[in-house]
Amino acid sequence: MKQKRYLLTEQELPTAWYNIQADMPVKPLPLIHPTTHEPLSVDDLAQIFPRECCVQELDTQHAWIPIPDAVADKYRYYRSTPLVRAYALEEALHTPAHIYFKNESVNPLGSHKVNSALAQCYYAKEEGTTNVTTETGAGQWGAALSYAATVFGLEAAVYQVKVSMRQKPYRSSIMRTFGAAVTGSPSMSTRAGKDIITRDAHHPGSLATAISEAVELAQTTPGCKYTLGSVLNHVALHQTVIGLEAEKQMALAGEYPDVVVACFGGGSNFGGLAFPFMRHNILEGRTTEYIAAEPASCPKLTRGQFRYDFGDEAGYTPLLPMYTLGHTFKPANIHAGGLRYHGAGVIVSQLLKDGLMHGVDIPQLKSFEAALLFARTEGIIPAPESSHAIAAVADIARQCRQTGEEKVILFTLSGHGLLDMTAYEQYLNGDLIDYTLSDEEIALTLK
Ligand SMILES: *Cc1c(COP(=O)(O)O)cnc(C)c1O
């Protein structure tokens, strides 16, 4: 009988995260202070983030960062996650390709986000912080952070993008169940929120508005640190447990990926899966291809510009060297809330610039079509975000059908979609649409 799922024992779990910055052929450009315009130091960053996260953020020397015991202990509640050979999907696609997915949807929070939430809350607690704050879009990060805060005895305040809050009401209930205080963003509770609402009373909110509010709260509240669910280097670092496990599990399956695919919001689940494999491209000349699947309505990788930009709408964050659509870009209200972000992480942006990976754009309807195919073959309802990766994989698998190539494809199922059934319902009722962006619209926010 053919083996379908591969798991690791607790003894086989990774004991260190992989920091690709140490091995990158071209190191990322420095982060720049928003007012002094000097390169940022750990001390600058540590004013809002837990210090150890800042050290990791700027570390371009150490390839391996030990996972603290307390974090590793919490990982063992749900890791390893299964590596699954998607035989039924392959069959439905009539493809000679071998398709594997790393199933990050099986933890109780339902997405990969908890891998970094646990690390960030642990470091915050260690340095004596009492409160953490953050932003969340669809709510997966907020849910993960709320849980991790409880685990390490911290209070959590979460700003949730207003439109996502309406689309996914149960995610706020989950956050509140774990004890977090949840506010819709933009809100009247911060200076940044008030400014945004004054300019645009019906602003639907975006990750950029919610980040402004959370950063402001951290800056103005003693004992409060800000945490981020993606984009930053240390977040992608924590997510490398995904790829490090997958590497061992692929070996158990006797295969090595020709193509690695993940959906792309800020780059953390993509980097988490891709970086551990990419190190073999960089150090040993492997030729694996890396594909980031972004929504066609938020195409920073394929249609954005590489330049310094703010991470938030108000311009409180450091200036980041990244592919961006401009920090005032207002993404369409697609259901993949986790992919509605204007910029790409600094490491990923440099890797894209250097040709080590590339992006593909997936329209919303195509992502749902792929989601249904996956649900009906593999029995898992994917998160709307993850469906972008599935759609990209299906495209490659169909190409293999044309060419007869037996490519080995590996992707991350970054989360399940069981709390996204309103989105599925709208799709099934024919009420969802694609959003197309003109070059003029993109040029406007890049001005
Ligand atoms: C947040 C999220 C994403 C996108 O974030 P990345 O940092 O790009 O990984 C993708 N899938 C799910 C399920 C998410 O919750």
> Which residue type, as a one-letter code, is found at position 111?
S
Judge contact between 131 and 50, C-beta under 8 A: no
Give the Å distance between the CA of 313 and the centre of ligand 1. Answer: 20
Q: What is the pLDDT of residue 164?
A: 86
Q: What is the pLDDT of residue 313?
A: 79
Give the Å distance between the CA of 272 and the centre of ligand 1. Answer: 11
Q: Is the pTM of this model over 0.75?
A: yes
Judge contact between 133 and 156, C-beta under 8 A: yes
Structure confidence by residue, pLDDT tens digits, 405-428: 999 999 999 999 999 999 999 999
Work out the percent of the chain whose per-residue pLDDT is above 90: 87
> Which residue type, as a one-letter code, is found at position 183?
T
Residue with tokens 């091995």: 23
Evaluate if residue 202 carries a pLDDT over 90.
Answer: yes
Q: Which of 179, 276, 269 lies closest to 230, judged by CA? A: 269
Instruction: Please give the Cα distance from 422 to 434 (Å, whole number).
Output: 17
Length of the chain: 447
Give the Å distance between the CA of 414 and the centre of ligand 1. Answer: 6
Q: What is the pLDDT of residue 217?
A: 95
Q: Label residue 173 left, alpha or beta by phi (over 0 means left) and psi (-120 to 50 means alpha).
A: alpha
Name which residue sits closest to atom 4 of ligand 1, judged by CA: 265
Average pLDDT, integer, range 208-229: 93
For ligand 1, is residue 111 a contact (CB within 6 Å)? yes
Instruction: Please give the Cα distance from 429 to 432 (Å, whole number).
Output: 8
For ligand 1, is residue 409 a contact (CB within 6 Å)? no
Range list of β-strands (E), 155-239: 155-161, 181-185, 224-226
Question: Tokens for 370?
Answer: 């792929």
Instruction: Please give the Cα distance from 271 to 288 (Å, whole number).
Output: 14
The kind and range of the H/E element at 227 are none
Name which residue sits closest to atom 1 of ligand 1, judged by CA: 338
Work out the percent of the chain whose per-residue pLDDT is above 70: 100
Average pLDDT, integer, range 95-118: 96
Instruction: Please give the Cα distance from 361 to 386 (Å, whole number).
Output: 13
Evaluate if residue 79 carries a pLDDT over 90.
Answer: yes
Q: Which of 338, 336, 340 lies closest to 366, judged by CA? A: 336
Evaluate if residue 167 carries a pLDDT over 90.
Answer: no
Name which residue sits closest to atom 9 of ligand 1, judged by CA: 269
Quote the Cα angle for 435-193-44, to 5°: 100
Q: What is the pLDDT of residue 415?
A: 97
Name which residue sits closest to atom 7 of ligand 1, judged by CA: 268
Q: How confident is the model at residue 94 (pLDDT cuts 50, 70, 90)?
A: very high
For ligand 1, is residue 386 a contact (CB within 6 Å)? yes
Evaluate if residue 333 carries a pLDDT over 80.
Answer: no
Average pLDDT over the chain, rounded to an integer = 95
Give the Å distance between the CA of 104 and the centre of ligand 1. Answer: 11
Question: Tokens for 287?
Answer: 């030729």
Average pLDDT, integer, range 256-282: 98
Range list of β-strands (E), 2-82: 5-6, 16-18, 64-66
Instruction: Please give the Cα distance from 53 to 438 (Å, whole number).
Output: 38
End-to-end CA distance of the chain: 58
Q: What is the pLDDT of residue 334?
A: 81
CA dihedral of 285, 287, 289, 290, whole degrees rounded to 10: -10
Average pLDDT, integer, range 239-248: 98
Q: What is the pLDDT of residue 8?
A: 98
Burial class of residue 1, CB neighbours in 10 A (0-12, 13-18, 19+):
exposed
Instruction: Please give the Cα distance from 149 to 124 (Å, whole number).
Output: 9
Instruction: Please give the Cα distance from 184 to 213 (Å, whole number).
Output: 10
Best probe residue, ligand 1, of 116, 240, 263, 386 (max atoms within 8 Å of C-beta): 263
Name which residue sits closest to atom 3 of ligand 1, judged by CA: 338
Structure confidence by residue, pLDDT tens digits, 374-404: 999 999 999 999 999 999 999 999 999 999 9
Q: What is the pLDDT of residue 330?
A: 83
- In ligand 1, the atom with minimum distance to the C-alpha of 110 is 13
Instruction: Please give the Cα distance from 277 to 398 (Å, whole number).
Output: 24
For ligand 1, is residue 230 a contact (CB within 6 Å)? yes
Q: How confident is the model at residue 123 (pLDDT cuts 50, 70, 90)?
A: very high
For ligand 1, is residue 19 a contact (CB within 6 Å)? no
Name which residue sits closest to atom 5 of ligand 1, judged by CA: 265
Best probe residue, ligand 1, of 102, 111, 227, 322 (max atoms within 8 Å of C-beta): 111
Best probe residue, ligand 1, of 112, 134, 175, 275 (max atoms within 8 Å of C-beta): 112
For ligand 1, is residue 265 a contact (CB within 6 Å)? yes
Evaluate if residue 85 carries a pLDDT over 80.
Answer: yes
Q: Which residue has the higher pLDDT, 333 or 250?
A: 250
Average pLDDT, integer, range 58-77: 98
Name which residue sits closest to atom 2 of ligand 1, judged by CA: 338
